[in-house]
Structures are given as structure tokens and as C-alpha cells.
Amino acid sequence: MSKINLDSVQSGYDLSIVNVNFQKIEDELNTKVLYRDNPVGETNTLETDVDANGQRIYNLPDPTSNGEPVTLGFYIEASQGGTDLVEQIDFIPSPAPAYQEGTTWYDSDEKALSYYNDISGSSMQIGFEHWVRVRNSSGGTITDGSVVVINGAAGQTPTIALADADVHVASKVIGLVTADIANNSVGHVTILGLVKNQNTSGYADGTVLYLSQTPGVLTDTPPSGNAAVVAVGIVAHSHITQGKILVSVNDAQVYAKASDILNMLETADIGVTVQAYDVDTAKVDVAQNFTAPQRSALQTDNDGSFDLSSKQNFFCTTAGSTTLTFTNQVSGLSGSILFVNSSNHVVSAHANTKILSADLNKISSSGTYRIDYLSNGTNAYCSVVGPYA
């Protein structure tokens, strides 16, 4: 259909028809045509969409206000830090729109700039919360609001499991799941900020919530006994379906009172796996002034071979020819052997036993001697005192 339709002049000269046709042309030009140089005060706007039919529009000026088109050159220059930068982007406040990955809007309810990522069912309020992208490899669905810990990684993505106050490694809470995460799927954990749409009706606003002894569950009562006391967050709004929890994990795992720390130690452990407190306990890295004897009983070893990993001081009574030997030597280790030759038994020295020939001859005669040694880690250097009467 033509944009302008004129009535035909059949024959002769009909001025009325000619005037009508000119009026149609005038009306069309005045109301439906855009002008390059529009008269002041006249409308010059589009009323329907325009199809450029693949043709380009040239020489657009740089934008000075919202709603103006931009050229590719302006966009590239702005994105690379050029001088023609957009001063601001004004969002119209609105409620959360239908989910679509990448949608960004100013949330009129939360009063925050928000966006949707690839996980439907939750939105990020920029600057109001922090998320960690995680993977659930636990074998089952981890539900919205569950308390979790990191228990490994899948590639470069941390994996999570339900937290548990009764298990030390499972009590290192990172935060709350923001939406259901199916097994072998990716989701998000809020480590700081609000987790919404929770059932907090059982708690008053401002209640501190702790990791409980039921995996993944919160409680308003700090666990007792050996359980870790981990403050996970605070009830920001009490409601059966629209409750809010402000997540702020106390990862120091502070225990409620000193007695709780004592309860962690089994009485049977003290003095066995845990050293009991004693103000006089010696420290190996400082000088000591001993006021009581430090000793252990002599170890009897009659074969002439002395294992230095068992004791430092020995008692030996020969039963025949003997080779003086030291095993498991450690540099700096020293000690003594009360050596009794019961019947002129010949005593020789191992290659790693360094002793004077005169001393070997001496202890090869019947009698009681003291053999002192000092090891450098390879050889034991010996000296002999005696025989004693």
C-alpha cells in the first residue's frame, strides 16, 4: 500500500479534486515525514520502529545524556580508559525481574544494584554480600541455608560438605549455601552478607546462631562438651518463609568458657599424650639448673654390643671372648659401661670402636672397669678406668 494516495482526475479540470490531493500531500509531509531542518516548534519524532535494512548511520555525536546512542569508537575508547567516559548510568529502581542470566537492575526492595548469574533462584546484591562458587560432591543434595565446610577441590573449584560441631575438621565453617545444590553440581556459599528466604521463625531478631552438633544445621544454643562453638551469623529478620540470616562466621572457634576447653581433654590423656603442667618441667631450649638427680637404671647387655637407641649407660659381664661394639650412634651422645671381665676373656674392638691397645689389653684381664665413650655419629671414642678393687 502506498504511503500517499491521491484521487484521480478523470477528465477536464476539477479544481476541487486537485485541491483535495494537494491537501493530502501537505498532511502527509507535515505529519509523517522527518525533516533534516525541522521548523521550530514542529514535531519531528518517530512513531514506529525504523528498519535500517542493513545500512549504516554515520557521524553520531558523543552522548551527553541518558538514552543517546553511542558509536563503536566511543565505546572502545571508553572501555580502554579514554577521556570520553560515561559519567554515570542511571537504573530505574524496580522489583526483582524474571530470572535471566546476566540481568542487572537496581533492586527497589533491597536498595542495591543486583544481578543474576548462572544459578537461578538467587541474586547477588553488589557490595552487600560475598559469595564463593563451590561444587557439591557429597553424594546428595545440599539444601538452601545449610552450614558447610570446604573438604577438597574439583579442578580449581572447592568442594563442600555439611559442617559438624562434633568433628574438628568439619567445624571449620565457611558460610551458608544460598540455594539448593544438587550432587555433582555447582552453586554458591554466602561467606558474608544476608541469606534470605529462610525459616527463622523459631528465633527472635538479633539471635546469634551457632553451628550445631547436627550436620549442616544452625542452633541458638552453643554446643557443650567437646564440640566446637562456632558463631555463624545473626537472625536479621524472624519469619517462617522470608527470614534473613546475616552471615559473619567467627572462624576463631572460640569456646564459651574455660571449662569447655578442659572438657576437650580426656583425663586419661593427661600425662600420656598431653603433658601435665608442672612449673619445674625442664625445657630443652634453655639452660637448666637441676635440683634433683636425672637418671635411669643401667641396662644389662652381656654380649658386648651396646644399642645406643635404647640406653646410654650399661652393665656388662663377659661370658667369653667379647667384641666391644656400639650401634645406632648419634653425634654428641656419651655414656658409660660398668664392665666386668669374669675370667680373663679376650676383648677386641669393632672397627667403629676407637680405644687404645693398652686399654684393650687391660680389660682383657679379670676385673671390674668403667668404660666411658663419646660418639661423633660414626665412631665411639673410649677410655678405660680401673680395675677397681
Dump pLDDT digits (tens) for 179-230: 999 999 999 999 999 999 999 999 999 999 999 999 999 999 999 888 889 9
Q: How confident is the model at residue 8 (pLDDT cuts 50, 70, 90)?
A: low
**What percent of the chain clears pLDDT 90, i.e. is strictly above it?**
58
- What are 46's three cell numbers? 518517530
Q: Are 263 and 227 in contact (CB under 8 A)?
A: no
Q: How confident is the model at residue 263 (pLDDT cuts 50, 70, 90)?
A: low
Q: How confident is the model at residue 1 (pLDDT cuts 50, 70, 90)?
A: very low
pLDDT digits (tens, 9 = 90+) for 314-361: 999 999 999 999 999 999 999 999 999 999 999 999 999 999 999 999
Q: Which of 83-92, 151-160, 181-190, 253-262 shows the lowest per-residue confidence on average (mean pLDDT)?
A: 253-262
Residue type, 113: L
The three-point CA angle 209-211-217 to 5° equals 95
**CATH number, domain 130-248:** 2.40.300
3-state secondary structure of 72: helix
Q: Would you say residue 140 has pLDDT above 70?
A: yes
pLDDT at 130: 93
* 40-59: average pLDDT: 84
Q: Which of 21-25, 103-107, 170-174 shows the lowest per-residue confidence on average (mean pLDDT)?
A: 21-25
- What are 157's three cell numbers? 573449584
Q: Where are the domains of the chain?
A: 16-90, 130-248, 299-388
d(CA 99, CA 43): 39
Residue in 196, 195, 221, 197 with CA at minimum distance from that of residue 207: 221
Q: Between 88 and 256, whose confidence is greater?
A: 88
pLDDT at 293: 77
Q: Do strands 322-327 and 347-349 pair parallel, antiparallel, or not at all (unpaired)?
A: parallel
Average pLDDT of the chain to the nearest whole number: 86
Q: Between 212 and 278, whose confidence is greater?
A: 212
Q: How confident is the model at residue 80 (pLDDT cuts 50, 70, 90)?
A: low
Given strand 104-107, what is the order of strands in its sheet?
104-107, 112-115, 124-125
pLDDT at 259: 53
3-state secondary structure of 284: coil
- Give the distance, in angstroms, between the CA of residue 52 and the centroid of all CA atoms in the same chain: 53
